[in-house]
Amino acid sequence: MFSSKTKQGDGENRLEVIAKSDFLVYAENRGMNKKTIKDVPIKGKRVLMRVDFNVPLNKGLKIEDDTRITAALPTIKYAVDNGARLILMSHLGRPKGADDSLRMDPVAKRLSELLGKKVTKLNDCIGDEVQKAVSGMKDGDVVLLENLRFHVEEEKNDTNFAKELASLGEIYVNDAFGTAHRAHASTEGVTKYIKICVAGFLLAKEMEYFDKALSNPPKPFVAILGGVKISDKIMVIENLMKKVDAILIGGGMAYTFLKAHGMEIGSSKLEADKIDVAKSIMRKAKQLGVKLILPVDHLIADKVDAVSNTRVVTDVVPQGWMAVDIGPKTVDEFKKELRNAKMIIWNGPLGVFEITKFSRGTEDVARFITGLKAISIIGGGDTAAAIARFGLEHAMTHISTGGGASLEYMEGKVLPGVAALNDR
């Protein structure tokens, strides 16, 4: 795992490389067919880099979690150390036009602390003042543009906006896996107007791990899928069924499958219009010889609340009660299947982990995985948040920085932000 988790107030960032099994991935990105920043000369060049600095802010002032900033540090440091004139760009939140609570100033401040050098934050991402600031840069300088989404043209992939962004750089680097599934001006549009377009180390690392899982996984290969809706995971299941030996299903989505089995699920999450889809998936899994393992017991509650009444049941969830976590027998069944796995890919928590008393199933499975020799790939979003909540980030092989991007990649989709980069 290439871990770049840094806590606020640390004197310097902690960067570590951990080999699990015989699978070590780092900046060189041996398998991806896209060029990386190491493949092009950058000294004295204006390098326009898309990063994902969409960090949580407390009242627009203090960064609550700087993981996404530290994740981009290897590429940023490489660019600075090799004499590039680095122009960073990112979105932050979902502003409707300019919003003082979503300006990039706290990000620039934190990045300056981590780099140990000044990061100049500009007041816009396009325009004469930006052009002037960029033209005055020297080798090793770093500037951070203002929030891209203050301009509606960013998400619309507007041609003129993309051209203005592209005019700032001679080389484009995409190191924002979390936005690579979006064809926005800063992820896809700019690549039409800059000749040299390459991946950063973080993007390359993400692609390497997912390519390994989806093209040539070591066996046994086990997938864990959770979350609320089966509809969010249909294409993932369809794609993974061709590659895995077993799929362990938890979370709210499990109850559409169990209902399809004829089980009474009480007030548990149900997508009634997806029952036939669930039946079809179960048939396909059987035809392919893939184990599809559903919960055999359930932690149920009378409401989704920390002060709710709870108990563990098997077979039937009573009316007025809802399943909020997998039960201990299910945890044991999941562990039994995971024990001999050589690769594990996990997307979606197994219960309502945000409430401590509903988080045990997800945590128990996560802690069990950390004791295995298997390569463990954790999808971003809620799964990554759960792993962080349990303090297990550094014990997994790889935790993706992109929830939506990792999901779409597992579906077998081409990510626009990756497809737009130069091939080797």
The residues carrying an active-site annotation are 68, 229, 381, 404
Give the side-chain half-sphere CA count within 13 A for 267. 10
- Residues sharing a CB contact under 8 Å with residue 154, sequence separation 6 or more, in sequence order: 91, 148, 161, 184, 185, 186
Question: Would you list the DSSP string of 83-147?
Answer: T-EEEEE---S--SS--GGG-SHHHHHHHHHHHTS--EEPS-SSSHHHHHHHHT--TT-EEE---
Task: Please give the span between the terminal C-alpha atoms of the chain, in angstroms, as a whole number.
Answer: 25
CA–centroid distance for 22 within its chain: 23
Furthest C-alpha separation in the chain: 69
Cβ neighbours, 10 Å, residue 391: 10
CA–centroid distance for 162 within its chain: 25
Among 403, 404, 324, CA closest to 357: 324
- Which residue type is seen at 396? M
Among 192, 196, 204, CA closest to 75: 204
Q: Is 48 helix (H, G, I), strand (E, B) or coil?
A: strand
Cβ neighbours, 10 Å, residue 281: 24
d(CA 278, CA 283): 9
Q: Is 246 helix (H, G, I), strand (E, B) or coil?
A: strand
Strands (E), 351-420: 375-378, 398-399
Strands (E), 191-327: 196-199, 221-225, 246-249, 291-293, 297-301, 310-314, 322-326
